[in-house]
Amino acid sequence: MRFRSTFVAGFVAVPLALAGCSQGGSDPQAQEPAQPAPDAPAEQPGPAPSGPADPVGWTDQLCGHVSGFAASQQQAPQVDKSNPQAFKDSSVAQMTTAEKAANDTLNGLKAMPPTSVQGADKVNSTFQDGFTKVADVLGSAKGKAQQVDPSNEQAFTQGMVGVQEELQKGQGINFDAQYAEFDKNPELRDAAMQAPSCQALMAPPQQQQEPQQQQQPPQ
């Protein structure tokens, strides 16, 4: 079993659409409705665990909170590049939605009960640390965007570049270490295999490499 590191790498992919900011002109592609990823899970907290001794219920709840953030990003408001004011307003709205989703996930993780699985509570704690960083990056970038002056072309461009630079700090956030703990911890790994919400976080079985094509004999 292996969890997808790319799943978390996409956390700031939607806000980073700001990288394509322009001063004017409609961007039809940016205004198209978001298409949900085929394997994006519906946000769900998972079934309530029966108690601290329920590893599967606890793990399902954990995965539900984590996967719920990425699922919410698929429905984030789109950036409107038709004019500077619209671009600013829609960018702030997008980051506000993403920041709220990160905080909702963080609060959900904090509210989880303890579990009997050794080392699992530490995994939850490190996930909380990661989502705190995600929320901080989004909040800081949103604050910069709110200060941008759309009436001045030069100030607008410089301001949005600053927003982009702030968001790029989120590219260094990943949960590879937390995912690795699932493989290191046999009980946690077995629980994740049985938890429905964890299935969306798992990488598909690695496809067998196709046999190399036989070289054509020299003419």
Instruction: Give tens-digit pLDDT for 65-122.
Output: 988 887 777 777 788 889 999 999 999 998 998 899 999 999 999 999 988 888 888 8
What is the pLDDT confidence band of residue 4, given thresholds at 50, 70 and 90? low
What pLDDT, in 10s, does the model give residues 143-198?
Answer: 999 999 999 999 999 999 999 888 888 877 877 777 777 778 889 889 988 999 88
Domain boundaries, the chain: 54-199
pLDDT at 125 over 80: yes
* Across 32-48, average pLDDT: 41
What is the pLDDT confidence band of residue 2, given thresholds at 50, 70 and 90? low
Dist. CA 144–CA 43, nearest whole Å: 29
* Across 47-76, average pLDDT: 76
pLDDT at 215 over 60: no
Dist. CA 137–CA 95, nearest whole Å: 10
* Across 26-42, average pLDDT: 39
What is the pLDDT confidence band of residue 42, given thresholds at 50, 70 and 90? very low
pLDDT at 32 over 50: no
| Cβ-based neighbours of 66, under 8 Å, separated by 6 or more | 105, 109, 127, 175, 201
pLDDT at 17 over 70: no
The pLDDT assigned to 128 comes to 92
- 104 or 49, greater pLDDT: 104
- φ, ψ for residue 3, nearest 5 deg: -90, 150
pLDDT at 55 over 70: yes
The pLDDT assigned to 47 comes to 44
The pLDDT assigned to 69 comes to 84
pLDDT at 138 over 60: yes
The pLDDT assigned to 205 comes to 53
The pLDDT assigned to 36 comes to 39
